[in-house]
Amino acid sequence: MNLQKAGRNVLLAICDVELLGKTLREGKTVFRVKEEFYKGAKVNVDEAVSMIENSTIVNIVGKNVVKKAIEQGYVHPEGVLNIEGVPHAQIVKF
């Protein structure tokens, strides 16, 4: 989990730990789970997802964290993009 503040925005990047540093490809889509963006505090899934409440921009990658975000009502299942079988979701709060 990586939490950053940029002006009035709070950016939260969450990924399943095994995806950190990997590149996912599907068709013309290339998605890099970059360490400089996602790497931060290593926390459990519940703690990471609880940080969504106070974030304005959220990037979520991985089966575990996306599933928990859906269960908690932060992400609608139809808003999830699968890349190489790995779910990815974004949240932007205005």
pLDDT for the residue 94: 84
Q: Is 50 helix (H, G, I), strand (E, B) or coil?
A: helix
Residue range 2-92 forms a domain whose CATH class is alpha beta
CA distance 6 to 16: 24
Q: What letter represents residue 7's amino acid? A: G
pTM: 0.93
pLDDT digits (tens, 9 = 90+) for 31-83: 999 999 999 999 999 999 999 999 999 999 999 999 999 999 999 999 999 99
**Average pLDDT for residues 3-12, to the nearest whole number?**
94
Instruction: Give the number of other Cβ atoms within 10 Å of residue 58's Cβ.
Output: 21
